[in-house]
Every structure is written in C-alpha cells, then in structure tokens.
Amino acid sequence: MDYVLALDQGTTSSRAIAFDREGRVAAIAQREFRQIFPQPGWVEHDPREIWATQHAVALDVIAQVGGAARIACVGITNQRETAVLWDRATGQPVANAIVWQDRRTAGRCDELRARGLARVVQQRTGLVIDAYFSGTKLEWLLDHVPGARARAEAGELAFGTVDSWLVWNLTGGRVHATDASNASRTMLFNLRTGAWDADMLKLLRIPAAVLPRVEASSGEIAETEPSLLGAALPITGIAGDQQAATFGQACWSPGMAKNTYGTGCFMLMNTGAQRVPSRNRLLTTVGWRGPQGQTNLAYCLEGSVFVAGATVQWLRDGLQIIQSAAEVESLAAQVDDTDDVYLVPAFVGLGTPDWDARARGTLVGMTRGTGRAHIARAALEAIALQSADVFAAMARDSQIALRELRVDGGASRNNLLMQMQADFLGVPVVRPQVTETTALGAAYLAGLATGFWRDADEIALQWQADRRFEPRLGEGERQAKLARWREAVECAKGWARP
C-alpha cells in the first residue's frame, strides 16, 4: 500500500489525488460540473453530479496507480457550507444542494440579527449570522421542499455538508457522518461542547434526527463499499477544504497562517487549543480534531472572501476580455497600475470583515482611457486587497504580528498576484513547492490515523518553499492604497435591496 487517496470535492470541480509517502503527487484527475443559478444571488449544485464526478475521478486515479490494493486509506476534503438534503431510503437528493455562495437566506439572517441574536450565536458557534453558513440553508430546504419538514422529523431525511454526502455514497448508505471541522461551519455546532447545539436547532427549527454524527477529523470513520472503488478502503480523514489546506501547509503552531486562493479566498490562523472570540468579525472555527475528542484539537480564526478566483472567471466568461484564466497575469502586466480603477467583486455579497449580503459587484474610477488591462489588473488587486482586509482583522484579534503568509490554491501560481499580496500586506508571502495543499491536508489526516505517516514531525519535513515574495511598497504608499480600496468597498455596500 504505497498511496493515500485524497478526494477533493470543490465548488466547481471534483478531484482525486494519490500521494506517496513523501507527500508527492503520484496521480491526479479532475472533472468540472454544472453551476446552477436559478435566480440572482442563488447558487445550486446537483448532488448527483457531485457524486458522479467524484466517483469517476477516484476510479481514474486508482487505475493510474495500479489498483485499489495500492491504496492505504482515503481522506476527504470538501467545499464546506454547501447544504445537501436527501432521502435515507433511496439515497436520492430531495432538492439541489444550496451552495455556500448562495444568498437566498439573507433576509432570514437580517431577522435573526434584528432580534439581537448575533452575540449569542457567536458565543455558541464562533460564527456571525450570515447566509454563508449551512443552518439557514437547511431551514430553507425544510420549509420549501414539499413535505420535507415532516419527513425530517420522522427520520426519513438526512442532511449533510458535501463530506457527509460523499461518505454516505462511498459506504452505500451505511454511514451518515461528518467531522468537527465541517460541523463547525453549519451554525448548528457548539464550539465549547463539541456537539450539536440544542438551542441553535430550536432557533432554526432543525430536527436533530436529520443531522449526521460528528467524528474526529483523523481516525477510523467508515469503510467504502467494496464494489465502488475495487476494495473496502478505510476512510480515516475528513476536513473542510480550508482546514485541510491549513493542515497541509503544516500550520500546526499557534500564530501560523495560510491563505488559499480558489473560487474564494480563505485565510486561517492556528490558535491552538484556545478558542479566540473575534472582535473584528472574523470566524472562530474548529481546525481539526483528533480521535480522542479534545486530544490534538486545534481551533482557527478565519476570514472569508467570497469571490477571488471567480473574479478571473468572470473576466473570462462574463466580460470575455480574456480567453483563459492564465491570460490574466500577462494582460494585467501590460499596465503599471490601474489608473485609480477599483473592482469590488461583491457578486454574492461581501464576507470578512464587512459581512454585507446586499453588497454587489462594483467597478469605479473608469475614464475614457480605461482599457482591458486596467480592469484585469484591478481584478487581481481586488483579490489581494480583500485578503489584506482579512489579514489586518486577524492581527487585531490575535494580538500577534503575523510574520509571513503561506499561500496555496490555483491562483497562488500567479506571480503578479502574489507580489501584489506581499505589497498590500507588508509581510512576505511564501508559496510551497506542493500547492495541492487542500488535498494533501486530507491525505495527511487520513495517513496519520493509519500509520502511513508516523507523526506530524515526519510530514512537517516534507513542506518546502518554492518562492518567497518580499514586499516592495513603502508603508505610506501601502496605507494610501488600502484607504482608497475601502472607499471603493463603501460604494458596493447595500446595493441589492429586499
């Protein structure tokens, strides 16, 4: 058994990667699936497509490495807050999945905040009240799918984030489970007790019978149905994508931080066994939990940027000013600056630190001289500037002067963007040699549970830097840029009225 199989189920594609004992990619496969937009601000996926694409790429990778006998164990990482509701008897979804980007429950969240519940929700769950999280999505499904609430109360339906949906299908419907990192993103999980919160369930009218059991992120979780992957393989690691990336970046000491540049941007800082309550609208979340409950437990502070790499996709598919995402770097490099043009990509609202579900995408500062290159450069700057807002909030909350930022995700390969990020942060940005850190983190969690890797010290040695980007902007110029960006953000706020 020479490999760990990581299933990396993302927002726009399903991937599978086999890692060897040195943490190197031995085989990889990827398939995209449909993005469904029924109304402005609504985003859905077909859960059957998620499973079909994930199953297909898993089989592809297993074949590439010589069969299931070469696989020691399976780790799962996933798009997190996306809500799936399915029939326990048939295994079929009762509706499309509501994706983490979806804003249909923004009005419900407004109501909860108006009732003065923001503080109690943060104290219990570590989260702000926002449509981003799974709780109000599940409530919406139970209210709007005919008969769903009664069936859920009768125990006929199962809810889960995407990891639970995959575990259910991988085990042939035998196991309904999630891990603590994914559970902590639902707005239904109590960080202090490490269990589902009865008061949050009552508030959102969620029957406990619909929920999965909460397992450790690293440990014996389930075993796959032999006919699906060619053998009964142990599933021994699960973590939400951003927690998995933090683990894969070897950010195991309090104060270490990473940023993942995918569809969105997600910055996490390890705070160890300490739950740090945020005063700056960050999220307190479970990083990962070991097999003995509180043993090997890590919490994180997190800032969430909803639209990052998706901004470049919009340039390609919406504006059609580039033909491929890779072109954005060379186009943006054709000009030295944006000529005071700012793009605020609030297409699905704003995340940290603004949390404005009614903000919308805004392009400001254009003149007759504004061209494609200025807009492309503004798009890249927007990704880095949103992350700089999160970084500043994180430093204030943690009272730690962050010395560097480790980066990963597809857009981290864009050298111009990474230089912008270092400039706007004022600290070095470090890109590792292996940028598949989300899948790698899931593999590490699974492999540690089975002895594939001996301990964390062994795999920490595998982390190697590829390139270090040092800041070049002077402090005065950096602060002026950040201030001008905040002016642009104010222009985007509150645009979509009820």
Which residues carry a binding-site annotation for glycerol? 80-81, 132, 241-242
Q: Which residues pair with 93 in a beta bridge?
A: 86
459-463 CB contacts, 8 Å cutoff, 24+ apart: 459/23, 459/250, 460/250, 460/252, 462/22, 462/23, 462/434, 463/249, 463/250, 463/432, 463/434
Supply the Cα-derived Rg of the chain in whole angstroms. Answer: 21
3 state DSSP class of 169: helix
Which residues carry a binding-site annotation for sn-glycerol 3-phosphate? 11, 80-81, 132, 241
Q: Distance between CA atoms of 51 and 45, rounded to whole angstroms?
A: 11
Angle (nearest 5°) at CA 41 between 38 and 47: 50
3 state DSSP class of 277: coil
Angle (nearest 5°) at CA 497 between 201 and 187: 20
Which residues carry a binding-site annotation for ATP? 11-13, 263, 309, 313, 410
Which residues carry a binding-site annotation for ADP? 11, 15, 263, 309, 410, 414
User: Nearest to residue 188, comparing CAs of 164, 227, 160?
Assistant: 160
Sign of the dihedral defined by the CA atoms of residues 391, 394, 396, 401, in that order: negative
Which residues carry a binding-site annotation? 11-13, 15, 80-81, 132, 241-242, 263, 309, 313, 410, 414
Q: Distance between CA atoms of 301 and 159, rounded to whole angstroms?
A: 26
Query: In the chain, what is the straight-line distance between the N-terminal and C-terminal CA atoms, in Å?
Result: 56
Q: Which residues pair with 404 in a beta bridge?
A: none
Contact 190, 196 (CB under 8 A): yes
Helices and strands, number each (H, E), in the chain: 17, 23
Q: Distance between CA atoms of 201 and 139, rounded to whole angstroms?
A: 10
Q: Distance between CA atoms of 263 and 257, rounded to whole angstroms?
A: 19
